[in-house]
Amino acid sequence: MNSIYNYKLEDLEEYLLNINEKKFTARQIYDWLYIKKVNDFDLMSNIKKELRIKLKQDFDTSFISIKKVQRSSLTNKYLFKLLDDNYIEAVLMRHDYGISICVSSQVGCNMGCAFCESGRLKKVRDLETYEIVEQILLISDDINERIDSVVIMGIGEPFDNYDNIMNFIRIINSPYGINIGARHITVSTCGLIPKIDKFSEENLQVNLAVSLHAPNNEIRNKIMNVNKAYNINELIECLKRYIEKTNRRVTIEYVMLNSVNDRLEHARELANLLKGMNVYVNLIPYNETSNFIYKKSDNISAFYDTLKKCGINVTVRKEFGANIDAACGQLRAKEVKK
C-alpha cells in the first residue's frame, strides 16, 4: 500500500478528482497531516465518512521510528529504523538563525568517498519520499518545535535518488504542508553532472551545494571516486551553466583534511579554479572517525585567509556534535554491526 506521505499536493488533488471527489479536499487532508499532525483518517472530522473509508483502503500512514537519539547542547543525532528494518540517520542543529535538519536520502551510499563514514556501508536502496518526509515530522515532534531549514546532506547521494528528492522538496515546501521556504532548503551533491543540469530546469529557488573537497583532479581522484566519472573541469563547466541558467549562487563544500587538501598552494589553486564564479566556499572541519586515516586539518585559518585574499567568498562551518557520533553514518554503522 502506498504511503500518503509520498503524495505531493497536486498528486493528492489528482487522486481525488479520479475518484470523483473535490480537489480542495486535498488541502484539508494536507492540513491534518502536516499542520495538525494527525495521521489517522478516522480523526479527520471535516472529511466525509465515505472518503475516509476509501483513504484507509488506498493509503498507508505508517511511520518510520526513532531508534536512538544522541543529544548535545546544539545538536541531536537521530537513528531511524525503517519499516523493512534498515537504518538511516538525521541530524538536528541549532543555529542563531533557527533549527536546521540534515536528512538522509538513501540507505547507504555507493559514491565511495574515501573519508566518508556513510559510504563505508554500501547502498542498500533509495529512500522513498515518505521516509525522507517523516524524518522531518518525527524530529519536529520530538523537540516540539518548528524546523526552519533542511539540508539533504545525510547518508546517500541525493541526485542518485532524484525523483524522490524532488517530491520531498515539493512536499516540505508546500504552503499547505510543512511550509519550509525554498531558499531554506539545500541539496548537496558530490557532482553528478547530468542531474545538476536537470536540476537547473526545475524552476526552484532551492540552494545547491557541491562537495568539491579538492582543487585538482589528482587529489580528487584519490578521495572521491565520482571524479573518475565527472572530473573537476567538467564539473566547473556544469556549475557555470547552472549559475547562468538559474542566476543562483552555488555553495562549494570543502572538507579540510590534514596534509591532503589543506596547503596554501591548494587554497590558491582553488581560488583560481573558482575565480569569477557566483559561489562561496564552505570550509568544513573534518569529523574524525576510527575507521579512516584522515585527520582534521590544523591549517583551516590560514587556508581561509588565503582564499579571502584571493577574493573568494568563504566561511568556516561551525562544528556540531563533537561529543556525539557526529560524522554522518557513524550511528548507523554501530547499529548494523550489532
What digits encode the pLDDT tens for the residues 54-109?
Answer: 999 999 999 999 999 999 989 999 999 999 999 999 999 999 999 999 999 999 99
Nearest to 173 by CA among 191, 194, 152: 152
Place 268 in a pLDDT band, splitting at 50, 70 and 90.
very high
Grouping H, G, I as helix, E, B as strand and the rest as coil, residue 310 is coil
Nearest to 328 by CA among 112, 156, 174: 156
Model pLDDT, residue 170: 98
Identify the bridge partners of residue 90 per DSSP, sorted by sequence position.
78
Residue 285 C-alpha from the chain's centroid? 18
Place 120 in a pLDDT band, splitting at 50, 70 and 90.
confident
> DSSP strand E in 51-170: where?
59-60, 65-71, 75-81, 87-95, 98-103, 106-107, 125-126, 149-152
Whether the Cβ atoms of residue 106 and residue 126 lie closer than 8 Å to each other = yes
Nearest to 231 by CA among 214, 251, 253, 250: 214
330: its cell numbers: 557513524
- How do strand 207-211 and strand 185-189 relate by DSSP bridges? parallel
pLDDT in tens, 229-255: 999 999 999 999 999 999 999 999 999
Average pLDDT, the chain: 94
Whether the Cβ atoms of residue 252 and residue 258 lie closer than 8 Å to each other = no
What average pLDDT does range 117-133 have in this prediction?
Answer: 90
CA distances from 61 to 13, 40, 177 (A): 18, 7, 16
| CATH architecture for the domain at 2-60 | Orthogonal Bundle (1.10)
Model pLDDT, residue 323: 55
Model pLDDT, residue 332: 53
Alpha helical stretches, state H, 231-289? 232-246, 264-274
DSSP state of 31: I
Range(s) of the chain covered by CATH 1.10.150.530? 2-60
What average pLDDT does range 129-134 have in this prediction?
Answer: 98
pLDDT exceeds cutoff 60 at 324: no
CATH number of 65-337: 3.20.20.70
Residue 35 dihedral angles phi and psi, to the nearest 5°: -95, -55
CA distances from 52 to 26, 27, 49, 174 (A): 12, 15, 5, 23
**Phi-psi region at 179: left, alpha or beta (left = phi > 0; alpha = psi -120 to 50):** left
- Which one has a higher pLDDT value, 103 or 321? 103
Only one residue has cell 556540531, namely: 320
Place 326 in a pLDDT band, splitting at 50, 70 and 90.
low
Dist. CA 266–CA 174, nearest whole Å: 42
First to last CA, the chain: 31
pLDDT exceeds cutoff 70 at 193: yes
Nearest to 133 by CA among 172, 176, 184, 75: 172
Place 287 in a pLDDT band, splitting at 50, 70 and 90.
confident
DSSP state of 207: E
Residue 90 C-alpha from the chain's centroid? 9
pLDDT exceeds cutoff 90 at 53: yes
Dist. CA 171–CA 204, nearest whole Å: 13
Dist. CA 35–CA 22, nearest whole Å: 20
Range(s) of the chain covered by CATH 3.20.20.70? 65-337
pLDDT exceeds cutoff 70 at 322: no
CA dihedral (36, 86, 167, 23) positive or negative? negative
Model pLDDT, residue 333: 56
Give the CA count within 13 Å in the CB-facing half-sphere of 120.
18
Only one residue has cell 574515501, namely: 114
Residues belonging to the active site = 89, 328
Dist. CA 266–CA 275, nearest whole Å: 14
What average pLDDT does range 204-231 have in this prediction?
Answer: 97
Place 331 in a pLDDT band, splitting at 50, 70 and 90.
low
pTM for the model: 0.93
